Amino acid sequence: MFQDQNGKLIPVEVAVMKKVGRESVDSEGKSAPVSLLDWYNLHQEVILVQERPVPSHDLFCHIDASGGCLNEEEAKIIMKQLVDAAIHLEKNGVFHRDIKSENILIETGSEVPRVRLIDFGLTSPGPHRLCLYLVGTRDHSPPEWLWFGGYTAGPTTVWQLGVVLFEMVHRSSQFRTIDFLMDRIHIRSTLSENLFVHLQTLQLHQPSVDRGSLFELPFPRFLPIFLPGHRTLGSFSSSS
């Protein structure tokens, strides 16, 4: 439970969804996280009434419907929006902890796919220090968790974004960190140079030294794309 500004205890998922999006019908479709429209505490369970984008399906199904792999241009469009969403969460002090293809909705009602984040049930609000227990998808755990038994929010989010990008551009591939670390799966050499280098950056093993934070990623070079209603690429650089 989380204590709101009025001293009322509310579920963490409700608190987070209130924080990262407006809690009204007017906010539908305006933020990357799906909107929380209402919620009910039934004591033994909590019912959330959330926006349902139509038409849409999750990214896992989107990849499958595309033959098990997306082309690079579509992957870049989706990735840019994902990073934008992750930066929005981080600026609001929110750590999703389980960004993966099944928790990403793709709206398919326009020429450009639109990304929406769902499932904030494992989210942690507030300042983030070293986490000593793992929540989320174990197969996608960051290397530092496997090596040292701890991880931090920023580099872990970058790692999870790398996993999503890997699965988007590798045909019918489901990523497992342990397989990657043991060289049982590899970044394919046939990717374009920019995408190959960027994926390497996202999945570098040393979190604080190499992988860095969302604000340090080389997106202006990686994503020569502008999308209506989104910030320009320069806003992704750490100097903006």
Task: List residues with catalytic annotation.
Answer: 98
Tokens of 129: 């220090």
Q: CA 13, 91, 27 angle in degrees (round to 5)?
A: 60
Q: What are phi and psi of 85, to 5 degrees?
A: -65, -40
Bridge-partner residues for 50, per DSSP? 36
Q: From CA 14, how far away is CA 46, in angstroms rounded?
A: 9
Residue 102: DSSP 8-state: G
Best CA proximity match to 200, nearest among 208, 191, 146? 191
Q: What are phi and psi of 104, to 5 degrees?
A: -125, 120
Q: CA 145, 121, 172 angle in degrees (round to 5)?
A: 65
Q: Residue 30: how many CB atoms within 10 A of its CB?
A: 11
